[in-house]
Structure 1
Amino acid sequence: MQPLTMVLGQGLLTSSGELHRRQRRLMQPLFHHQRIFEYGETFAAIADARAARWRNGQRLDIHDEMIEMTLAMVTKTLFDVDVDADTDSDIVAVIRAAISENTVAARKALHTGFELLERLPLPSARRRRETRQALDRVVYDLIERRRREGAEGRDLLSLLLSARDADSGDGMDDSQVRDETLTIMLAGHETTANALTWTFHLLGQHPEVAEALHAELDGVLAGRRPTVADLPRLPFTDAVLSESMRLYPPVWAMSRYLVEDRVVGGYPLPAGSTLLLSQWVVHRDEKWWPEPERFDPARWLGDRVDPDRPRYAYFPFGGGPHQCIGNSFARTEGVLALATISRHWTFEPVPGLKIAPEPLVTLRPRDGLPMTIRRHG
């Protein structure tokens, strides 16, 4: 993760030690369930608006659609910026350009020598630097504006500026707010977009599961837009997303650096070792997941749930002190978007087109995900 500091600075994703612990304490209240409840209407409204642009029988790249949709969700909840509003068009243009250029950089950051190449006067490196600088100017301008207004808004940026350490009473300086803001924006929208993309891919491959999903949505929602209050009554919808993230975890592998000697699985490992933990592999362990390659959302329901399955047989959001702080935010966003879209639409695969995952920092379809959409009901 360390090369990502070039883009994200020292946000929660890339920091460690005392800095990470302090930031975690400061930011945890931002993701309290009541806060997330307040954002639910925004998630569903944006998903509804996105799907309203589609036409029956149209072929779309679903991954592009999900990227645009989750970008709209994160800019609205983070900055209170509307991607479709003329008044916010300049800000949105800067955000789009920075994400486009630096998402590529985040993937290439894993390659040996990337940091050196970024310092060379190459056109691609120069574009990335320029878009990052433009994004920084926008973010610092928004920070200054929120501070001037007293940070009284309900957007996440205002809440970041208002956060105070319970012991010292200190808040974050502008640089740290910038790092956490970019971490939420750049990391948050990509992972949720990937999760939804693979979910629609799997539903297209398994029409019997899609039929069961529509039956639940028709019975509970009767065509109306879902709310957070509906989530407990949509267990199969939630299970569809869980099973999709089992087979196609948005982050397919992660690492942990040992700061002391430890014995792991009977093997003595010295301090300084790096452990690679792969969700892709663990989520396919036959010991805990019968028929592991099968897309079977019902395995998450009722007596199909294995009570002996260990906690980390499934960890799409990581675990421990560095578990994704926005996991409840992302799950709520994902289930509401899935329910909102699926109540009116079904997705058909393009015949003969092979979809392959691209395992870089996140797991996305290598060449996008073209699908034909059909109106449901």
Structure 2
Amino acid sequence: MNAPQLASATPTTNGCPVSATSSAVEPNRDSAGQPGPLPPNPTVRQVREASSAQGRWASLKTDPLWLTRSPLPLLSASMRGLGAPTLSPPGPRGLPLVGCTRAMRREPFEFFRRCTAEYGDIYRVPVPAGNLVVVNHPDYASHVMDDATGRYSMIGPFGIVPSLVGAAIPMLEGGKFRQRRRMLMPMFGRRHLARVADVIADEFVTRIDRWSAWAGTGQVVDLQHEIAQVTLPAFLRAMFSSSITEQEIRNTDVDLRTFMSLMAAPTLMSPRPKLLPWPGRTTAIKSMRRLWMLTRRLIRDRRTHPLDTPDLLSLLLDARYDDGSPLSERDLSMELMILMAGGYETVVASLSWTLALLLAHPQHLEKLYAEVDALDGAMPTPDDQPRLAFARACFDEGQRLQGHPLNPRFAMDDDVIGGYLIPRYSIVGPSLYSIHRDPRWWPDPEMYDPTRFTDESAVRARPRLAFMPFGSGPHHCIGTGMAYMNAQFLLALIFQRYRLSLLPGWTPEHHFNFSVTLKGGLPITLARV
């Protein structure tokens, strides 16, 4: 793969200036700064041979504490003769034993962005138990995300985990993954979404209309929380033909967030899940038990009372792999948990960011009002989605600035990216927060400007993966179409009924909990139209 052109700024490595293009075009330099034996686009074999020639422990010459900064992966690479520092991506050194864990945990979003500014389009971050490589050019991101050969995996060396706790589609690879995705696709295609659109919109209308109790009162409302109370029951009705009580909705919202915090814990970038009991605290154990019991009840009730018109739950119960075997009970429960978390939480987080940014820009808000008013108060349908093009653009721009600190994969074999060796089992992926703010693709990147997505020439000029809120490649989010439908419907229904105002002086802050929500919620006041 040819190395992409890097930013024009000159980064520094450990305080020393480095050519912005050298990190991607000329990585093959020895400790004296002389060109090494590698060609411009080396193969894995060539990099291995060059690394072996430079010495198994070559990195110790430039950094005597090298092995302490990321001990397990570095020791493994060195024992295989892959320890030469000039063949690894540049990056921060970090602290002995803990690497960059503290800085990454304290502020993961800006940490990766600072590293991108200093080290370029590919860099290595030392962490205790893994070799973390971050790629920040769309071509490099495609190399990892779009791989269909199994060279990069979402579950990596932890394939035993799904067999213990249950496997959902993000936890599968290879043939099982393709078969499971094929099972689910019909329920997320346009035809089925058109069938359930009325159910979704009806649930949205019923719950959004309840907000009128706050309209005109001056009461501050956390709209992020309220959107969750709207989208979760709508998803359950549309996909599982099931309803749960108001208390169960509140509990399930807490439990799914706890579930996501458990999934985020291995990244070392999220708050630690609450495991120990404490007065007034819902522990992770309690949440997972409630969530497991809810999914088991949904499955049991459907088996007892099958439907004439299949929904997603019926499809999963009837689905068979190519060998004729059904999904196990653990797989069914885990798939339901993942679907519920992904089916409503992504919309809650992204729409909250959209509203937080949109409400601060009256010129874009007025344009959205005009588009929504063109519906003449009618409940939106899938046929209206093309007419809500600016609503979609507002949502996309919200997703761009929402970002995500890292979208990781495991390298399942040694690889080369940008001329650098990526050892087996390295954690590799793009920082969406950094790519979505890269001035090469996004002029004035901090500005909220939905017209970036309505200007066709600007859209065509950007690389495909300069914007990837739903991922890319084999694991591209299966619910993308549903997310856009929900977002456009919600924006239309909310602004048909209310005018929203942010609290004076309030600004949004990122909170990473597997998804990226607003820290402290979205405080607003409402008025009737």
**2:345 matches 1:180:** no
> Alignment partner of 2:508: what SS?
coil
Change (3 A) 1:33 1:356: same
> Alignment partner of 1:307: what SS?
helix
**2:241 matches 1:80:** yes
Higher helix fraction (1 or 2): 1
> What letter matches 1:175 in structure 2?
R
User: Identical aligned pairs, as a percentage?
Assistant: 30
Cα pair 2:302 2:314 within 8 Å, conserved: yes
Cα pair 1:247 1:293 within 8 Å, conserved: yes
Cα pair 2:346 2:515 within 8 Å, conserved: yes
Q: Which moved more, 1:356-365 or 1:50-59?
A: 50-59
Alignment of 1:183-332 (within 5 A): 183-219=338-374, 221-249=375-403, 251-332=404-485
Measure how far apart 1:36 and its partner are. 1.3
Change (3 A) 1:352 1:182: same
> What letter matches 1:222 in structure 2?
D
Runs (5+) with no aligned partner, structure 2? 1-153
Measure how far apart 1:154 and its partner are. 3.8
Aligned to 2:55: none
Cα pair 1:261 1:268 within 8 Å, conserved: yes
Summarize deviations over 1:144-164 as a string: whole Å, max 9, x none.
332334454443211222334
> What letter matches 1:74 in structure 2?
F
Q: Count matched residues.
A: 366
Cα pair 2:228 2:253 within 8 Å, conserved: no
**2:209 matches 1:56:** no
TM-score between both structures, scaled by the size of structure 1: 0.86
Change (3 A) 1:267 1:108: closer
Aligned to 2:259: 102
Runs (5+) with no aligned partner, structure 1? none
Measure how far apart 1:228 and its partner are. 1.0
Cα pair 2:184 2:312 within 8 Å, conserved: no
Higher-Rg structure is 2
Q: Which moved more, 1:191-200 or 1:17-26?
A: 17-26
Cα pair 2:415 2:424 within 8 Å, conserved: yes
Change (3 A) 1:354 1:235: closer
> Alignment partner of 2:527: what SS?
strand
Q: Which has the higher contact order (CA 8 A, sep 6+)?
A: 1
Aligned to 1:16: 173
Alignment of 1:110-121 (within 5 A): 110-111=267-268
Selected match of 1:148 from 304, 307, 312: 304
Change (3 A) 1:274 1:162: same
Change (3 A) 1:192 1:252: farther
> Alignment partner of 2:461: what SS?
coil
> What letter matches 2:180 in structure 1?
Q
Cα pair 1:40 1:336 within 8 Å, conserved: no
Cα pair 1:252 1:279 within 8 Å, conserved: yes
> What letter matches 1:245 in structure 2?
Q
Quote the RMSD (CA, aligned, Å). 3.0
